[in-house]
Chain A
């Protein structure tokens, strides 16, 4: 059964890969492709452990990303995830695997005020899904507890998206994203019929960003989701403060994350300067007993303390200890992982 499931997914996955390869071939044959527009392969490969309540799950993961520019204005990009999971069971360890596309989209860059995106795209609700979810970017191994709020089950939309700068001045800018998604039951492009948008104000001198998000599911029980985020990354420091709040019909919550790269102690490449202490505080609150959003079943508080180490050659060690409090029981969660980020041209140059 599992093998059959994997075979089906693999067949779809290979079909999609062939589309990407076709794009690469088209790029090669495009005479205008200049020397800096070679298609790229990037992504991360990692090995993680997660130990909630004393039971350790191991999961190696590969997240490849391909980006293929076509002509002056087009870009085709895609990211996938290949995940193996070894989780404890009564008879030892169970093993499962997953292969899936995170997104596959075509972008038409008209100007900084308007980019048209079509295909399967990451839902731009809040900040985590679109900006922090790649394994080579996120500071913590796992996402925040409210990660699923506003992401409409799958975190992807299938349809179109418009995005750009509404206003761009030297002192401030306001950007926007708006999208509409069709319903799809395809296993690689599973999406809900929905629409939404996000708008952010950015003050570059203060390095302060604040934004609001909204989306609405248009199928079955129609629900609204609201989000807000504030990021502050003071200039000339290596301190970053990120926070996000999300509210749905049945639950709400927030997270605040602070991280500091200790580059002040001997520079970013010194032994000490490669350390990155982290702290994240999160709380979720149930508004009623209807559980349809992926959040914990009861009000939950969680404090995450992390320490990352940035090795040379795009390799990073992630470690964290979390203490979670809820009426269903308190627990310790230990996480460790190592991630290597790769980034290279799709083929060798002359």
Chain B
């Protein structure tokens, strides 16, 4: 019991410190975006509808795919549909999620 307590307490302290550091970090607008999607997204004029779909895609990505893994640095747009099919199985994505993610990957 002593041994457990001895090692649990420093562990929990470090956990709390890491948690506090993370929570106090100001939101970084770029951090939740996949740094590389199928095509690098060029920040230029987008219609409100298109921008909304992209935001929705980013949200779906953060809430589903990024739960387990960080985005890859980049991939061919030719496999974006296959990746989404795989994610539909793993993350139970709906057709709507698939559509907005496809738009997010290929704006």
B71 to nearest A CB, angstroms? 10
Residues in B whose Cβ lies below 8 Å from that of A231: 67
A223 is an interface residue with CB less than 8 A from chain B: no
Are A36 and B77 touching (Cβ within 8 A)?
Answer: yes
B42 is an interface residue with CB less than 8 A from chain A: no
B76 is an interface residue with CB less than 8 A from chain A: yes
Residues in A whose Cβ lies below 8 Å from that of B15: 241, 256, 258, 279, 281
Are B25 and A238 touching (Cβ within 8 A)?
Answer: yes
A112 is an interface residue with CB less than 8 A from chain B: yes
As a 0/1 sequence over residues 49 to 84 of chain B, the CB contacts with chain A under 8 angstroms (1 = contact) are: 000000000000011001111101101111111110
B7 is an interface residue with CB less than 8 A from chain A: yes
As a 0/1 sequence over residues 221 to 245 of chain A, the CB contacts with chain B under 8 angstroms (1 = contact) are: 0000000000101111111010000
The residue that B92 contacts in the complex, of A115, A237, A239, A269, with Cβ under 8 A, is A115
The residue that B78 contacts in the complex, of A75, A207, A349, with Cβ under 8 A, is A349
B40 to nearest A CB, angstroms? 13
The residue that B28 contacts in the complex, of A165, A241, A264, A345, with Cβ under 8 A, is A264
Docked complex Cα distance between A168 and B92 (Å): 10
B27 to nearest A CB, angstroms? 4
User: Residues of A within 8 Å of B, CB-based: how many?
Assistant: 67
**Which residue on B lies nearest to A282, using beta carbons?**
B11
What class of interface size applies to chain B in its complex with A? Answer: 35 or more
Are A117 and B4 touching (Cβ within 8 A)?
Answer: no
CB within 8 Å for A310 and B78 given contacts A67-B86, A109-B89, A263-B28: no
Docked complex Cα distance between A117 and B85 (Å): 13
Residues in A whose Cβ lies below 8 Å from that of B92: 112, 115, 163-165, 168, 175
Are B93 and A67 touching (Cβ within 8 A)?
Answer: no
Residues in A whose Cβ lies below 8 Å from that of B8: 281
A225 to nearest B CB, angstroms? 22
Docked complex Cα distance between A209 and B67 (Å): 10
A215 is an interface residue with CB less than 8 A from chain B: no
CB within 8 Å for A40 and B18 given contacts A111-B95, A131-B68, A313-B73: no
**Which residue on A lies nearest to B81, using beta carbons?**
A36
Are B31 and A38 touching (Cβ within 8 A)?
Answer: no
**Residues on B close to A: CB < 8 A?**
3-4, 7-8, 10-12, 14-15, 18-19, 21-23, 25-28, 30-32, 35, 62-63, 66-70, 72-73, 75-83, 85-86, 88-90, 92-95, 97, 102, 106
Ranked nearest first, the 10 interchain pairs of A and B with the lowest CB-CB distance are: A239-B22, A36-B81, A236-B27, A112-B94, A37-B81, A40-B79, A38-B78, A264-B25, A237-B22, A281-B11
Extra contacts, 17 of them, besides A69-B85, A109-B88, A237-B22 (Cβ < 8 A), are A37-B81, A67-B82, A77-B89, A137-B68, A233-B67, A237-B27, A239-B22, A258-B19, A260-B21, A260-B22, A261-B31, A261-B70, A268-B35, A281-B8, A301-B7, A343-B72, A344-B76
